[in-house]
Amino acid sequence: MAFNNRFKKSSSSSNFSFFSTLFFLMILFTIPVFFLLNTPTTCTTLTKTWSGDLRLAEFPWNKLPFLELKPPPPPLKIAVFSRKWPMGTTPGGMERHAYTLHTALAQRGHKVHIFTSPPQEETISFSSSDANPPSSPYIHWHEGEPGKWRYNKAWEQFLEQNQKEPFDVVHSESVALPHWLARDLPNLAVSWHGIALESLQSSIFQDLARGKDEPRSPDFEQGLQGVLPKILKEIRFFRNYAHHVAISDSCGEMLRDVYQIPRTRVHVILNGVDEDDFREDVELGREFRTKIGIPSNASLVLGVAGRLVKDKGHPLLHEAYSRLITNHPNVYLIVAGSGPWENRYRDLGSQVLVLGSMSPSMLRAFYNAIDIFVNPTLRPQGLDLTLMEAMMSGKPLLASRFPSIKGSVVVDDEFGFMFSPNVESLLEALEAVVKEGKKRLAIRGKACREYAASMFTATKMAFAYERLFLCIKNDAFCNYS
């Protein structure tokens, strides 16, 4: 209590000193990680000749040309814990990943059970878990408030199903299962869509992107004070998980080299997107341009998609694009998404078309209508599916230079442009894009499409997870040749 009183009476200068010291320690802790993660990726093509124990592979399993096993393995019974399951038309990235992966596994004959929060759509029946088609996951919505995750209720449902017939594998999407429950499951795989160390980097970049006259948010300082203990807590309890799935090379390196997880328990499997939803369709793109009012003589069309919020980098793109069009008024920007920055983009003039949130079918037309996809994110954690969707649609990328993107997606200069997460660097990259022109960008787009089709499909992702789950059940499936 005495400590609390002294803290409340301290002057603003001592508060600033405390914050400065804390911030310095965080920077000091982060710098070695940046050096660690900026090692260039040495293998950008499929690893067709590799063989050995899959648990020793430190490259993405997507690089391996998985073939159908003969004889085919018996179907697995898979339990999946996911905070939400996408029932609407515009789900978030983690929800889309879970839906794409586990629907594909169910279609391959595995018995997939999803334990998740109640849907927010009133039309969904809560008793449909036994009425699903054989090729769909069984959905178990726990009781409670729609959209609110209650892991204890989901755990009760899991135990009931596990009692009837034990699950072969348990898959937790990030921390859907708290570690004190999950640590005792020997057949558990946790997929990480962001860890606390990456969140620290995100906080730093967001503050660096703050305008000169923009005050620092009190939430920012409060968040920084709590992030170091969170990182240390993660490092301590992550080792209790049986298997970790990192969705980027850089996250895999962090888990092995900073979080000190034995390398045989860290597996890199990159996300994939439905190859039927995202493909090249020139005519569809042309029709979409006409429909939304892009003139035929537009010199270039940029596109950005996702939530229109600060941490997705929209302050950077808004400022850089507003400067760009003073010299290049015939460059258009299509914005697919909704959020606080909608009206600010509209204020830039007729060259900006804000279309709101889109379903996958609408996004297919959007990607085919643009010349290059822009991702100005300030969040190093995870790996945006939009990057892969754009590449699958045959579009080059203009993306933030983060280890996850540089090491797992833009692994070749031919795939596009990268920039430091600040306005000046983004504007310089935009000028380079304009100078290059749409014909050269189309050539880059074909290279992107070819690479993405070999790495980022839902089929490839499902094959990789299937092999991991088989390996968890039986060591014999860990040998790859």
Query: In the predicted model, what is the mean pLDDT of the chain?
Result: 86
What mean pLDDT is predicted for residues 282-291?
A: 96
Pairing state between β 188-192 and 243-246: parallel
Confidence of residue 198 (pLDDT cuts 50, 70, 90): confident
- Give the C-alpha separation, 261 to 25, whole Å: 23
Backbone angle region of 337, left / alpha / beta, with phi > 0 → left and psi within -120 to 50 → alpha: left
- Give the C-alpha separation, 84 to 118, whole Å: 8
Per-residue confidence (pLDDT) for residue 350, from 0 to 100: 93
Token duo for residue 200: 């620290």
Beta bridge partners of 219: none
- Give the C-alpha separation, 220 to 341, whole Å: 20
Tens digits of residue pLDDT in 89-114: 556 677 888 999 999 999 999 999 99
Confidence of residue 121 (pLDDT cuts 50, 70, 90): low
Other C-beta atoms lying within 10 Å of the C-beta of residue 388 = 24
Q: How far is CA 178 from CA 64, 155, 183, 232, in A?
A: 32, 10, 9, 16
Task: Compute the chain's Rg from CA coordinates.
Answer: 23
- Give the C-alpha separation, 458 to 464, whole Å: 10
**Tokens 């558990």 -> residue:** 188
Question: 205-219, 224-238, 279-293, 460-474: which has the minimum mean pLDDT?
Answer: 205-219
pLDDT at 8 over 90: no
Per-residue confidence (pLDDT) for residue 116, from 0 to 100: 95
Tens digits of residue pLDDT in 202-230: 777 777 777 777 777 776 666 677 778 88
pLDDT at 339 over 70: yes
pLDDT at 122 over 60: no
Question: 4-18, 65-79, 119-133: which has the minimum mean pLDDT?
Answer: 4-18
Q: What's the one-letter identity of residue 279?
A: R
- Give the C-alpha separation, 458 to 107, whole Å: 12
| Spatial contact of 271 and 388, defined as CB atoms under 8 Å apart | yes
pLDDT at 274 over 70: yes
What mean pLDDT is predicted for residues 437-453?
A: 97
Tens digits of residue pLDDT in 293-331: 999 999 999 999 999 998 899 999 999 999 999 999 999
**Tokens 């003589």 -> residue:** 297
The helix (run of H) or strand (run of E) holding residue 67 is none
| Spatial contact of 173 and 94, defined as CB atoms under 8 Å apart | yes
Q: Which domains does the chain have, with CATH numbers?
A: 52-272+458-480 (3.40.50.2000), 282-455 (3.40.50.2000)
**Tokens 């008793």 -> residue:** 127
The helix (run of H) or strand (run of E) holding residue 170 is strand 169-173
Per-residue confidence (pLDDT) for residue 425, from 0 to 100: 96
Per-residue confidence (pLDDT) for residue 133, from 0 to 100: 59
Confidence of residue 32 (pLDDT cuts 50, 70, 90): very low
